[in-house]
Amino acid sequence: MSPTTEAITQQSLPKHVAIIMDGNGRWAQAQGKPRVFGHKRGVEAVRESVKFCRKLGIQSLTLFAFSSENWRRPEDEVSTLMELFMMVLSSEVKKLHKNNVKLQIVGDVSRFSDKLQERVAQAQALTKNNTGLCLNIAANYGGQWDIAQAAKQVATKVQQGKLQPSDISEELLSEHICMHDQAPLDLLVRTGGDLRISNFLLWQAAYAELYFTETLWPDFNEHAFADAIACFVSRERRFGCTGEQIKQLLAQ
């Protein structure tokens, strides 16, 4: 069975879900609180989403925590986000490990403080052999950065004579894109009501189902997540085929 056929016939629950966790600032501002209050409450929604994915047996959950463009925010918001990231890494890692979760930070971590990079490395090392949910936290991540870093790896191999330019194909480049060793992205959710991708998983989203909700991230609970999954399950994914072909495949 080809990977596409397999994806169609096995389509029940998504294997890989990614979420653009947006709306923290507006959630806080609606209550007359500073934006950072929303980021802190957002951590609770992260815990709930991780728990829900574990319960459903989803293989990978990728959360957009900080984009390569978010450095443009006011300095105090950026530093609060970094502190929060540091705190959450320290406080949650043991529990994630106990729950067999494999934690990976996806993005250019070189711009983070040495201390934060150290925590990231420790957390990844501790959980690297876990076999349950793969939790990918996208931090200083950009979809364009991801494609560029893949191109850089491939160019290096060409320079070293390990590859010929004619070897470069979609498949080859795919093998250098972040999370290539995990299930392909099935469902991309964005909370907070905006209808854009904001430079998230540009390559990986090629055939993902998109789901947008007005719900602000701190309010995104198990029920809201279940609605997104139910919507995904009701969709017909055609991967370029016709509806008739899909029906035939499913009838086999």
Residues forming the site for ligand IPE (CB under 6 A): 20-26, 64-67, 70, 81, 192, 194, 196, 198
Active-site hit among 70, 99, 130, 221: 70
Binding partner selected for residue 130 from ligand IPE, Mg ion, none, CB under the kind-specific 5 to 8 Å limit: none
The set of residues, in sequence order, having a beta carbon less than 8 Å from that of 234 and lying 6+ positions away, is none
Toward ligand IPE, which CB reaches closer, 58 or 138?
138
- Reduced to 3 states, what is the DSSP secondary structure of residue 22? coil
Inter-residue contact 214 to 190 (CB < 8 Å): no
Alpha helices in 160-193 (DSSP H): 170-174
State the minimum distance, in angstroms, from the CB of residue 222 to ligand IPE.
Answer: 20
Q: In whole angstroms, how large is the CA radius of gyration of the chain?
A: 19
Per-residue mark of binding to Mg ion, 3-42 (x: CB under 5 A): -------------------x--------------------
Active site residue 146: no
The total of other beta-carbon atoms located within 10 Å of residue 95's CB is: 11
Tokens representing 11? 């389509």
DSSP 71-118: GGS-HHHHHHHHHHHHHHHHHHHHHHHHTTPEEEEES-GGGS-HHHHH
State the minimum distance, in angstroms, from the CB of residue 221 to ligand IPE.
Answer: 17
Inter-residue contact 96 to 63 (CB < 8 Å): no
State the minimum distance, in angstroms, from the CB of residue 198 to ligand IPE.
Answer: 4
Toward ligand IPE, which CB reaches closer, 8 or 178?
178
State the minimum distance, in angstroms, from the CB of residue 216 to ligand IPE.
Answer: 7
Toward ligand IPE, which CB reaches closer, 82 or 249?
82
Active site residue 70: yes
Name the site residues for Mg ion (rule: CB under 5 A): 22
Q: Which residues belong to the active site?
A: 22, 70
